[in-house]
Structure 1
Amino acid sequence: MEKEKLPTFRCTTDFASLKVISEPYVVFTNRGYAPVVDVENTGDGVKYQFYVQALSIAKKFEEMKKDNDDNFTGLSFKVKKESSEKFAPYIIEKV
């Protein structure tokens, strides 16, 4: 059975509070396969796919999951982009 396709989370320069609700899986994109997790916006309850391949995201997730029995599911964090530039790094803070 195919998994429901969630909308992609679009990060801005304002913090958004998210909670991971799945372990990583891959999706096919126009650039090949990409790792994602499902997240829920804790402000409005909307669920999204959240791409985790950016190094600034992956490094922080590796840190956070050590305190979560090595799981992604259940991680709570705030995320924003450092600037509005296309390839600006992400800022992630554990909640």
Structure 2
Amino acid sequence: MVPPVPDMYDQMPMTETSRADQLNYRLPDGYILKIRVKNNARESIAETVDGFSIVLNPEGFYEYTIQDDQGLPQPTGIIARNPEDRTSEDWRILNSIP
């Protein structure tokens, strides 16, 4: 007999694998964000399919990041979108990130 799945799994974000290196992540608003996750021994790094670093915020949305003075990623407050869905303002901000 298979044991029941704990309720905590019902609370976890939904992801769908489409390729080995890409995930389709469903944001709380239903939007599907295509992301890549890179893992090493110390950390996992998420980024958009075109290479912008992103971090998951407490509400379950991915935000673009910028590096602080110590080189650590900090959220920008701007919700990540797939390249084809970004506004001109999104692009202006992203193009200004070093």
Same fold, TM-score > 0.5, yes or no = no
The structure with the larger Rg is 2
